[in-house]
């Protein structure tokens, strides 16, 4: 299996775990792009981890997907981890009570009520800020960087 395919496979596994959180531990109706009624009746299986696991999974998986599309020895791969961490932290900060209303108003005022700005504004207004999600996003990006490091080490070991 090539390194990019392995990165995609690991990222996909991460996303599958995140999807399982929404199907078992959370109300799936509140997740964007999730079909209504897609939840499983099995009940919570992740417990307290289910609260922050999606915040871990998103930067983890998308960092690996982005890295898979970049050259194998590129420092940009680690930059993808930092970028996805920053995106997730920014979205979490956007839910903070001191930021969410002005941010939603600025979005609507700058771009008007479009198919993109309405759900984005609602995300900020209806979401809840959680420092634990910031920690989870940071941990997810660091875990992705660790996977990249390990795969790079394997590539160089077997290339010799």
CA distance 104 to 121: 5
Q: How large a percentage of the chain has pLDDT more than 70?
A: 88
Q: Is residue 72 part of a domain?
A: yes
Q: Is residue 108 part of a domain?
A: no
Residue scoring higher pLDDT (22 or 130) = 130
Mean residue pLDDT of the chain comes to 87
If you search the block for the tokens 């634990």, which residue do you land on? 132
Q: Is residue 30 part of a domain?
A: yes
Q: What pLDDT, on the 0 to 100 scale, is given for residue 31?
A: 55
Q: Is residue 110 part of a domain?
A: no
Q: Is residue 75 part of a domain?
A: yes
Under the banding of pLDDT at 50, 70 and 90, the label for residue 56 is very high
Under the banding of pLDDT at 50, 70 and 90, the label for residue 24 is confident
The torsion of the CA quartet 60, 116, 118, 89, rounded to 10 degrees, works out to 30
**Which residues neighbour 61 within 8 Å (Cβ) at sequence distance 6 or greater?**
11, 12, 14, 15, 18, 144
Q: Is residue 138 part of a domain?
A: yes
Q: Residue 46 belongs to what domain range? A: 3-94+129-159
The torsion of the CA quartet 60, 33, 37, 20, rounded to 10 degrees, works out to -10
Q: Is residue 107 part of a domain?
A: no
Closest to 152 measured CA to CA, from 56, 70, 60, 35: 70
Lowest mean pLDDT among 33-47, 70-84, 96-110, 143-157: 33-47
Q: What pLDDT, on the 0 to 100 scale, is given for residue 155?
A: 80
Residue scoring higher pLDDT (11 or 19) = 11
Under the banding of pLDDT at 50, 70 and 90, the label for residue 146 is very high
Q: What pLDDT, on the 0 to 100 scale, is given for residue 40?
A: 56
| Residue 71 exposure: Cα atoms within 13 Å on the Cβ side | 4
Q: What pLDDT, on the 0 to 100 scale, is given for residue 33?
A: 52
Closest to 64 measured CA to CA, from 124, 140, 2, 115: 140
Q: How many domains does the chain have?
A: 1
CA distance 40 to 27: 10
Q: Is residue 99 part of a domain?
A: no
Under the banding of pLDDT at 50, 70 and 90, the label for residue 154 is confident
């Amino acid at each position: 299996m090539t390194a990019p395919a392995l990165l995609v496979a690991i990222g996909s596994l991460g996303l599958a775990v995140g999807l399982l959180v929404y199907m078992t531990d959370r109300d799936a109706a509140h997740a964007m792009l999730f079909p209504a009624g897609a939840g499983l009746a099995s009940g919570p299986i992740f417990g307290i981890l289910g609260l922050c696991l999606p915040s871990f999974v998103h930067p983890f998986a998308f960092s690996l997907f982005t890295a898979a599309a970049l050259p194998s020895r590129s420092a940009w791969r680690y930059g993808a981890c930092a970028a996805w961490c920053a995106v997730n932290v920014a979205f979490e900060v956007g839910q903070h009570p001191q930021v969410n209303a002005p941010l939603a108003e600025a979005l609507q005022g700058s771009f008007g009520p479009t198919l993109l700005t309405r759900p984005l504004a609602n995300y900020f207004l209806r979401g809840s800020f959680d420092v634990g999600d910031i920690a989870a996003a940071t941990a997810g990006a660091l875990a992705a960087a660790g996977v990249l490091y390990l795969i790079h080490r394997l590539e160089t070991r077997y290339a010799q």
